[in-house]
């Protein structure tokens, strides 16, 4: 099994560090306006990784967080007049319903950032003691210049970081910072915002430290796979690496960084800020979950693609063929053997999740089963091979 590692910029052989359990952390939703196709592409990609890992005989411990307290959800709460926690609860329920409809395997731990203040404060205290952080007027900042490796993930020069920071939730003009690129670990209380008690007075967690705290608490000082959307590489994941490695002393914080490319729609990146979102629950009113999954998986996870409204419809026939082939009544194993195609299928997935090739091979497997059955042959063995392949995409109704 090979995965492309953003940290090295290369495909690398993958296996869990301990040879047994894969520890995977994936950055989850900020719970408002979910689940659009960008979300779906991201979490379906990691669902395939989850399924493939278990197919290889390894155990999986999968943690996916909810960023239920940060600037964005507080801003949305003010716009709608809903309490921030009620707003989050509503969209978390919707998110789970959407994932269930798409037959995504449940994660093992689904922590909320708002419940992790104790670990976050512990991390902040140690970072301050080590000279990696400092406090000003109740706000704790990470000191970027204390870490010579900062920038290792993105490879960006400081001027690029400065520009992107202002676009992606940071404030390089904050005069309380020692350096414009320093980032908030603990935000001092602001009027009208929820707060938690801390050694620096009431406040709330910063965005980046939330994920580091949850990864550390539930997976330990090192994770095998850390993932999310490609737009999180900087500043979020870059900052996670810095604060986590300074806190634990363990390098690397994540052995593999896996990032899913952006989904575009009508010429723009699909995003909440642009408002050009296509929601899973709306698509599933008109198309089957299997067709939607096959359509999304027909695009490689590291390549941006333009979502087409008629895309899922183009895969309804394939979804129907796979289901038909899997459900044919067959008295015995028969002579049809799909071992060659099955090997091709898993070779494709093992090659950095080459799902476009795997989707095509799955179609060939279904066609051969149907053709053999029409010819009067028994196809039990081939059906079992088809079902195993279809399960990697979470296709429903194939048992």
Of 265, 284, 301, the domain-final residue: 265
pLDDT at residue 130 is higher than 90: yes
- pLDDT value of position 399: 73
In a domain, 270, yes or no: no
**Domain encompassing residue 156:** 16-265
pLDDT at residue 397 is higher than 80: no
Q: What residues are paired with 25 via a beta bridge?
A: 63, 226
Distance CA 399, CA 327 (A): 7
Distances 294 to 41, 312, 348 between C-alpha atoms, Å: 11, 8, 15
Tens digit of each residue's pLDDT (9 = 90 or more) over 136-161: 999 999 999 999 999 999 999 999 99
User: Judging by DSSP bridges, how do beta strands 183-188 and 203-205 pair with one another?
Assistant: antiparallel
- pLDDT value of position 34: 86
| Confidence band for 330, pLDDT divided at 50, 70 and 90 | confident
- pLDDT value of position 267: 86
- pLDDT value of position 221: 96
Answer with the residue of higher pLDDT: 192 or 19: 19
Sequence-distant (6+) residues with CB within 8 A of 365 are 325, 338, 341, 342, 345, 382, 385, 386, 389
- pLDDT value of position 156: 94
Of 232, 265, 298, the domain-final residue: 265
Q: What is the mean pLDDT of the chain?
A: 95
Give the DSSP letter string of 138-176. Answer: TEEEE-GGG-TTTTTTT---HHHHHHHHHHTT--TT-TT
Check whether residue 72 and residue 155 sit in a common domain: yes
Check whether residue 240 and residue 387 sit in a common domain: no
Tokens of 186: 């603990």
Q: What residues are paired with 187 via a beta bridge?
A: 204
Q: What secondary structure letter does DSSP report for 397?
A: S
| CATH code of residue 338 | 1.20.120.640
Check whether residue 225 and residue 100 sit in a common domain: yes
Percent of the residues in the chain that have a pLDDT greater than 90, as a whole number = 88
Distance CA 88, CA 16 (A): 33
| Confidence band for 336, pLDDT divided at 50, 70 and 90 | very high
Tens digit of each residue's pLDDT (9 = 90 or more) over 281-323: 999 999 999 999 999 999 999 999 999 999 999 999 999 999 9
Vertex 358 angle, CA 355 and 364, to 5°: 150
Q: Where are the beta strands (DSSP E) in 74-233?
A: 133-136, 139-142, 183-188, 203-205, 223-229
* Average pLDDT rounded to a whole number, residues 231-256: 96
Give the DSSP letter string of 295-343. Answer: HHHTS-TTS-EE--TTTGGGGHHHHHHHHHHHH---SS--S---HHHHH
Give the DSSP letter string of 8-65. Answer: TTEEEE---TTSSEEEEEE----SSS--BHHHHHHHHHHHHHHHHHHHTT-EEEEEE-
Check whether residue 28 and residue 84 sit in a common domain: yes
- pLDDT value of position 137: 97
| CATH code of residue 75 | 3.40.50.620
Check whether residue 100 and residue 170 sit in a common domain: yes
pLDDT at residue 237 is higher than 80: yes
- pLDDT value of position 242: 97
Count of structural domains, the chain: 2
- pLDDT value of position 271: 73
pLDDT at residue 166 is higher than 90: no
Distance CA 73, CA 71 (A): 6
225 burial (CB, 10 Å; 0-12 / 13-18 / 19+) is buried
Note the pTM of the prediction, 2 decimals.
0.96
In a domain, 299, yes or no: no
319 burial (CB, 10 Å; 0-12 / 13-18 / 19+) is buried
Check whether residue 315 and residue 255 sit in a common domain: no
Check whether residue 320 and residue 205 sit in a common domain: no
| Confidence band for 324, pLDDT divided at 50, 70 and 90 | very high
- pLDDT value of position 153: 97
Check whether residue 243 and residue 368 sit in a common domain: no
């Amino acid at each position: 099994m090979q995965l492309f590692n953003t940290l090295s910029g290369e495909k690398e052989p993958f296996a869990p560090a301990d040879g047994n359990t894969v520890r995977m952390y994936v950055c989850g939703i900020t719970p408002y306006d979910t689940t659009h196709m960008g979300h779906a592409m991201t979490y379906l990609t990691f669902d395939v990784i989850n399924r493939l890992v278990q197919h290889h005989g390894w155990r999986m411990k999968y943690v996916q967080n909810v960023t239920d307290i940060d600037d964005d959800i507080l801003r949305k709460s003010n716009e709608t007049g809903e309490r921030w926690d009620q707003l989050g609860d509503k969209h978390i329920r919707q998110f789970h319903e959407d994932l269930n409809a798409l037959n995504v395997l449940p994660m093992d731990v689904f922590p909320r950032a708002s419940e992790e203040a104790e670990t976050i404060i512990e991390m902040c205290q140690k970072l301050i003691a080590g000279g990696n952080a400092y406090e000003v007027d109740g706000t704790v900042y990470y000191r970027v210049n204390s870490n010579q490796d900062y920038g290792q993930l993105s490879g960006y020069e400081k001027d690029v970081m400065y520009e992107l920071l202002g676009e992606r939730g940071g404030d390089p003009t904050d005069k309380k910072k020692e350096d414009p690129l320093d980032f908030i670990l603990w935000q001092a209380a602001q009027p009208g915002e929820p707060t938690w008690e801390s050694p620096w007075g009431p406040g709330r967690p910063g965005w980046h430290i939330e994920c580091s705290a949850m990864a550390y608490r539930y997976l330990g000082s090192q994770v095998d796979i850390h993932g999310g959307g490609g737009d999180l590489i900087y500043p979020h994941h870059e900052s996670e690496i810095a604060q986590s490695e300074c806190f634990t002393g363990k390098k690397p914080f994540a052995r593999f960084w896996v990032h899913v490319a952006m989904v575009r729609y009508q010429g723009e990146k699909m995003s909440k800020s642009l408002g050009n979102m296509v929601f899973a629950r709306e698509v599933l009113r008109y198309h089957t979950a299997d067709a939607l999954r096959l359509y999304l998986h027909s695009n490689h996870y590291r390549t941006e693609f333009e979502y087409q409204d008629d895309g899922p419809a183009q895969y309804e026939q394939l979804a129907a063929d796979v289901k038909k082939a899997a459900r044919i009544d067959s008295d015995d194993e028969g002579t049809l053997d799909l071992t060659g195609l099955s090997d091709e299928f898993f070779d494709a997935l093992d090659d950095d999740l080459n799902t476009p090739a795997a989707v095509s091979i799955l179609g060939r497997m279904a066609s051969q089963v149907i053709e053999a059955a029409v010819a009067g042959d028994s196809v039990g063995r081939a059906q079992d091979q088809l079902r195993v392949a279809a399960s990697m995409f979470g296709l429903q109704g194939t048992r």
